[in-house]
Amino acid sequence: MAENGEGEQLSLPEGVGEVVEMDAEAVQEALDKGDLVILDENEVDREEGDEERQEMEGEAMEEGAVEVEDMACAHFDAHEAPVYSVALGKTEKNSSIVLTGGGDDKVILWDMKDESGCKIFDEFEESVNAVSFSSDGAYFAAGSLDGVVRVYDTEKRELVGSLDGPSGDVEWMQWHPKGPVLAAGYGDATMWLWNAQKQQCMNVFSGHDDSVSVGGFTADGKSLVSGSLDASVRVWDPKTGQCTHTIMGRTFHQRSIIAMHLYPDITQQLALTGGEDAAVCVSHFGTGKIIGKLQHHKDSVTSVHFIAGQPFASSGCVDGMVVVWDLNTMKARQVFNHEVCAITKHVRQISVEVVSIIA
């Protein structure tokens, strides 16, 4: 034990060996030989932190955690806040481009072949939560939380104009499959339709009792389908603005609809929806009839997807579960669990293959 100036014994910290008394000359000699190293307080803290981190990493590995290899083909890091929306497109020269909108009030257009060759558009004053390329890639649009929608020329990389609309949040946007016509759903329970090339409003659709959270054009472009936080799906005629079908009821969603996918070709007039009631519903937007209610999830269903050409669909949940459904039997065919992460966008179809994407 060491003694203080009054002869009392001092207890040493755990892990510290015998204290060796050294005069100044002995200390200098030990330093010159490299036998003694003096650490400042910060270095001690760093060493202790490294030891704790290594211990935690070791425990994680013991529990079966594995290091995930970074297989990204490109990294884009010009945003200064979270990225809320992403869209993929191609230029006239068939070069792949990426469009992003973020919480830094910016829209950024990236070239996949040149990570440093990005174009930043900073005309917005609120977070950009919706971006989309037109079907031919000639234009792209971006919408923000203050209701502003702007249209840009993809090739020239310049602003074409702004679209007049309400002041509420832009929930989603989608282009017509055959022309420069853009639809958007808003937090004020309305849906708007514009000729984006001319910046002219073509129609305003009202009828929902709450935010129009999801929506889009059918594959043939002849109808618009919208889903709402009021737990209903509505089918609209884009030309007249009239609602042709309303889908709701006790065999349908009982809480907010927050995900929707329309069948990707004209062979099936089907809508797949996911809701905060943990249900996945299949409906026929041509007749307005409910086909089935699929139940296996225990929490909000945030992503749904038809598998084109196959009698299957899939859904993702905030609890990390992905379910593949057999639409012939209306039952779960396969269940995948990803317990450490919520599923927001979970599939991309390449031919008949399905690739799981956790986001």
Residue 272 has pLDDT above 80, yes or no: yes
Strands 289-295 and 301-307, sheet pairing: unpaired
What pLDDT was estimated at residue 96? 87
**Residue 15: pLDDT band with limits 50, 70, 90:** very low
Residue 356 has pLDDT above 70, yes or no: no
Number of H helices, E strands in the chain: 2, 28
Domain ranges of the chain: 81-206, 251-359
What pLDDT was estimated at residue 114? 72
User: Please, what's the b/e burial string for 86-114 (b: 16 or more CB within 10 A of its CB; e: otherwise)?
Assistant: ebebeeeeeeebbbbbbbbbbbbbbbeee
H helix or E strand, kind and range, residue 291? strand 289-295
Q: Which of 75-79, 90-94, 215-219, 248-252 has the lowest mean pLDDT?
A: 90-94
**Residue 351: pLDDT band with limits 50, 70, 90:** very low
Q: Which of 218-222, 226-230, 340-344 has the lowest mean pLDDT?
A: 340-344
What pLDDT was estimated at residue 178? 94
Residue 71 has pLDDT above 50, yes or no: yes
Could you tell me which of 193, 217, 195, 215 has the C-alpha nearest to residue 204? 193
Centre a 10 Å sphere on the Cβ of residue 278 and count the other Cβ atoms it contains.
20
**Rounded to 10 degrees, what is the CA torsion of 78, 82, 86, 91?**
-10
Could you tell me which of 219, 216, 255 has the C-alpha nearest to residue 234? 216
CATH class of segment(s) 81-206: mainly beta
What pLDDT was estimated at residue 52? 57
Could you tell me which of 115, 139, 128 has the C-alpha nearest to residue 84? 128
Using CA atoms, how far apart are residues 253 and 293, in angstroms rounded to an integer?
8
Residue 36 has pLDDT above 60, yes or no: no
Q: Which of 10-19, 74-83, 245-254 has the lowest mean pLDDT?
A: 10-19
The tokens of 349 are what? 């179809």
**Residue 74: pLDDT band with limits 50, 70, 90:** confident
> Is the separation of the CB atoms in 348 and 356 below 8 Å?
no
Sheet with strand 257-262: strands edge to edge: 257-262, 270-275, 279-284, 289-295
- Report the mean per-residue pLDDT for the chain: 83
> Is the separation of the CB atoms in 190 and 152 below 8 Å?
no
Query: Percent of the chain, pLDDT > 90?
Result: 62
Tell the CATH topology of 251-359. Methylamine Dehydrogenase; Chain H (2.130.10)
Is 251-359 in the same CATH topology as 81-206?
yes
What pLDDT was estimated at residue 350? 45
Residue 38 has pLDDT above 60, yes or no: no
What pLDDT was estimated at residue 210? 98
Q: What is this structure's pTM?
A: 0.77
Using CA atoms, how far apart are residues 311 and 324, in angstroms rounded to an integer?
10
Dihedral sign, CA of 281, 283, 285, 287? negative
Using CA atoms, how far apart are residues 284 and 270, in angstroms rounded to an integer?
5
Sheet with strand 312-317: strands edge to edge: 301-307, 312-317, 321-326, 331-337
Average pLDDT for 158-180: 93
Residue 32 has pLDDT above 60, yes or no: yes
What pLDDT was estimated at residue 65? 53
Dihedral sign, CA of 169, 237, 175, 306? positive
What's the first-to-final CA gap in the chain, in angstroms? 58
Taking only the tens place, the pLDDT of each residue in 116-129 is 678 999 999 999 99
Highest average pLDDT, of 12-21, 118-127, 250-259, comes from 250-259
Query: Percent of the chain, pLDDT > 70?
Result: 74
What pLDDT was estimated at residue 22? 59
**Residue 183: pLDDT band with limits 50, 70, 90:** very high
